[in-house]
Amino acid sequence: MLALIAGQGDLPRAVVDALPEPALICAMESSPPDRIAPDHLFRVEQLGSFFRWLKARGVTRVCMCGAVGRPDVKLSKLDLPTLMLLPRVLRALKRGDDGALRIVIGMLEDSGFQVIGAHEAAPALLPEAGVLTAAQPGDGAAAMAALADQVSHRQGLQDLGQCCVISGDQVVAQEDARGTDAMLGELPPVPGGLFYKAPKPGQERRADLPVIGPNTAVGAIRAGLSGIVIEAGGVMMLDRAAVIEMLDAAGLFLWVRERDA
């Protein structure tokens, strides 16, 4: 049986809708999902008991998806099964996002669960490679995408965001901790530029694979960009039909691209 540990945002609902099988929906009390009702809420101070609860219900696979804020750990609520996990929990809370996720995945695996990514649980969310819109990438798009590959690599080394905006040979914007929508919302008009999103090189893909959706399309259109480039096999798409319809209407391209080495 699959358990989905759902965070906030649109992704958990999209994963649930695309799952080929029913799943047990779980969530942290401090970060309840927005658009689905969880079957079970847990606290990080009772993680050990939560793992036991999952096993008692026949769960063998776990998928984490959605945004989760860092909880405020109250030692007074710590239970005995979590005591041995406490050093790892506290270490995770001090790490960057990717480091924290690796520790959480390690705890799940050590407890006997197989951890899978949202794109593995719901493969329909991962678009095929190619240009999916009527508009095609124009002159200069390949060079801008190659520059964005380099920016993405630097962002990965600094544990920063997963996207950027390129215009010609200039980096116009880079995602920070506030996320993609905030970056696009503050973007001035960038005619002919492109929006780029890809996993950070070396990041843990089972819990933090990037996502685009209608909000991304709206932001790119508002900024006057020429198109969107995402990494093939590395970025999920929410509400695919709506995204392509919006981009086609505005004359933007969507290029699902194999990343340069």
Last residue of a domain, one of 121, 155, 183: 121
Q: What is the pLDDT of residue 80?
A: 85
Alpha carbon distance 200, 156 (integer Å): 5
- Here the CATH number for the domain that contains residue 177 is 3.40.140.80
Stated pTM of the model: 0.87
Please indicate, yes or no, whether residues 103 and 153 belong to a single structural domain of this protein: no
Please indicate, yes or no, whether residues 79 and 104 belong to a single structural domain of this protein: yes
Mean pLDDT by 10 residues, the chain (261 residues): 92 92 91 90 89 95 88 80 81 70 85 94 94 96 96 84 94 90 92 94 81 96 97 95 98 94 59
Last residue of a domain, one of 121, 147, 180: 121
CB–CB of 79/86 below 8 Å?
no
Range of the domain at 208: 126-257
- Here the CATH number for the domain that contains residue 98 is 3.40.50.20
Alpha carbon distance 93, 105 (integer Å): 14
Q: Which residue has the tokens 């090189």?
A: 201
Q: Based on C-alpha coordinates, what's the Rg of the chain?
A: 19
50, HSE (Cβ side, Cα atoms, 13 Å): 25
Please indicate, yes or no, whether residues 108 and 19 belong to a single structural domain of this protein: yes
- Report angle CA 86, 43, 180 to the nearest 5 degrees: 100
Please indicate, yes or no, whether residues 34 and 86 belong to a single structural domain of this protein: yes
Please indicate, yes or no, whether residues 131 and 253 belong to a single structural domain of this protein: yes
The edge-to-edge listing of strands for the beta sheet with 253-257 is: 130-131, 253-257, 227-231, 194-197, 163-167, 170-174
Q: Which residues pair with 253 in a beta bridge?
A: 227
Last residue of a domain, one of 121, 148, 164: 121
Please indicate, yes or no, whether residues 196 and 233 belong to a single structural domain of this protein: yes
Closest by CA to 99, choosing from 238, 200, 218, is 200
Please indicate, yes or no, whether residues 113 and 131 belong to a single structural domain of this protein: no
Please indicate, yes or no, whether residues 159 and 84 belong to a single structural domain of this protein: no
Please indicate, yes or no, whether residues 188 and 132 belong to a single structural domain of this protein: yes
Alpha carbon distance 79, 239 (integer Å): 41
Please indicate, yes or no, whether residues 156 and 64 belong to a single structural domain of this protein: no
Phi-psi group of 103: left, alpha or beta (phi > 0 → left; psi -120 to 50 → alpha; rest → beta) = alpha
CB–CB of 89/31 below 8 Å?
no
Alpha carbon distance 99, 101 (integer Å): 5
Taking every pair of Cα atoms in the chain, the longest distance, rounded to a whole number of angstroms, is 62
Alpha carbon distance 114, 108 (integer Å): 8
Q: What is the pLDDT of residue 98?
A: 64
Please indicate, yes or no, whether residues 170 and 76 belong to a single structural domain of this protein: no
Query: Domains in the chain: how many in total?
Result: 2
Q: What is the pLDDT of residue 261?
A: 59
Which ranges of 22-169 would DSSP assign to H, the alpha helix? 47-56, 80-83, 86-94, 97-110, 118-121, 141-157
* Tokens representing residue 10 in the block: 């649109």
Please indicate, yes or no, whether residues 58 and 139 belong to a single structural domain of this protein: no
